[in-house]
Amino acid sequence: MPKKVIVIGAGASGMLAAGKAAEQGAEVLLLEKKKKPGNKLLISGKGRCNLTNNSEVSEFIQHFNREGRFLHQPFSQFFAPQLMAFFQSLGIELITERGGRVFPASGKASDVVDALLRWSQSNGVVLHSSYPVNRILIKDGRINGVRCNRRSIHGDAVILATGGATYPATGSTGDGYSMAEDLGHSIKPLRPALVPLLVDDPLVQSLAGLDLRNTGFRVYVDGKRKKADFGEVSFTTTGIGGPVTLTHSLFIVENLRAAKNVIISLDLKPALDEHKLDNRLQRDFVKRHDESISSVLRGLLPQQLIAPALHFCSLNGQKSAGQISTAERKRIREWLKNFRLSISGHRPLSEAIITAGGINVKEINPNTMESKIVEGLYIVGELLDIHGDTGGYNLQAAFSTGWLAGIHAAGTKDQLGR
């Protein structure tokens, strides 16, 4: 008799888990709460789906929180090269971009979702959409099935793949945390990771839409420099986002929660040290001495930054460059190297790219993804207390853990030699 496997959630990890379990010969039911599967995958990578990263495993794991070490086992069985070969075997051509980010060459996340669905269904997976699971059923200490809309469905194994608690419109509303908690699992507090930050200053908010590439990024906590990085910062109507901001956002969220004062200092001219920048300003001001300082600054800054530059440096924009005093030039130089943003908060968990916290990985067997608390229960994907940077790390973790759970949920103990 084939094993009956129920997968809860048709996202990245659930679709992989279901297809793999069916490939192993199990009878697989994939239950999805929303009308359509893979909603979060569809919006991933701005609709392009950055499905993995081609860095080496040791470097890859450094892009996760401490608990990311748990991934050594899943990655030793199914990692980026295997994932890429898998998608290529499904007819998805891939391209690798800056920073090792891997995307479908078509630039369409929908191609990834369609391919996963076709593959899982051709392996025999039965998908029920608009099917929210409310509870996992246990009998004699082991899995017995699930409860869904007052109906019980029997299963020999259940793979819990309901995702994190961000972007709830995609269906990932955090249901799996309470389902696992009801069965005795412990949940590390949920926090937003990769989340935009708030800057309560109308002048900064007026910069919405501006993207600054190649910007120096330093984080000061209670006046002490704690982080120094470099990258792209985007201004929003409520503050700042962009890759380098998101990377450090959880650190900042945790300091804000501890009532610390957080300042971000942007270096708008990281390629020039103070001395070289001063020479450049002097040269420009002499050469263009009859022009207004506003016009001369246009050679150094995007248009949107001129008004804040004049405001923060207390300058009249009509003043000619030739009339700028040494003290005023010093203020301009200092502001260009140290544009300070006082961080007043962060966007909510629902707007984060990923959920930090989640199911304690000490309670999961990393060789199988089976719960150490309930026999026959497997937990995968973003539900786990593992979160990574942007760059394809989170989807690879979801795919690898799903793959492993699919194999082990389908196999009998004899087949798997346990």
Ligand X SMILES: Cc1cc2nc3c(=O)[nH]c(=O)nc-3n(C[C@H](O)[C@H](O)[C@H](O)COP(=O)(O)OP(=O)(O)OC[C@H]3O[C@@H](n4cnc5c(N)ncnc54)[C@H](O)[C@@H]3O)c2cc1C
Nearest to ligand X of 196, 216 (CB atom): 196
Is the CB of 173 or the CB of 215 nearer to ligand X?
Answer: 173
Distance in Å, CB of 414 to ligand X, minimum: 29
* Closer residue to ligand X (CB): 238 or 394: 394
By C-alpha distance, which of 403, 406, 418 is closest to 22?
406
DSSP letter, residue 196: -
Closest separation in Å from C-beta 398 to ligand X: 4
SS3 260: coil
> How many CB atoms neighbour CB 309 within 10 A?
22
Nearer to ligand X, 43 or 137 (CB): 43
**Which strands, in side-by-side order, build the sheet including 101-104?**
52-53, 101-104, 94-97
Q: Considering the complex, what minimum distance in angstroms separates the CB of residue 226 from ligand X?
A: 26
Are 183 and 373 contacting, i.e. CB atoms less than 8 angstroms apart?
A: yes
Minimum gap (Å) between residue 367 Cβ and ligand X:
19
In angstroms, give the least distance from the CB of 166 to ligand X. 5
* CA 366 to chain centroid: 22
- Contacting residues toward ligand X, per CB under 6 A: 8-14, 31-34, 37, 39-41, 43-45, 49-50, 132-133, 161-163, 166-167, 171-172, 175, 353-354, 381-382, 392-395, 398
Give CA–CA dist 121/293, Å, rounded.
65
- The 10 Å Cβ neighbour count of residue 204 is 19
Give the Cβ contact number of residue 294 at 10 Å.
Answer: 18
Least Å from the CB of residue 167 to ligand X: 4
Q: Is the Cβ–Cβ distance between 16 and 407 less than 8 Å?
A: no
Q: Closer to ligand X at the Cβ: 193 or 221?
A: 193
Of the pair 41, 83, the CB lying nearest ligand X is at 41
**Backbone dihedral angles phi then psi of residue 324, each to the nearest 5 degrees:** -70, 125
The first and second tokens of residue 210, run together, are 């501006």
Tell me the closest approach of the beta carbon of residue 347 to ligand X, in angstroms.
12
Give the residue at shortest CB distance from ligand X.
11
Structure tokens at 91: 């007819």
Structure-token pair, residue 278:
């001063």
Nearer to ligand X, 119 or 220 (CB): 119
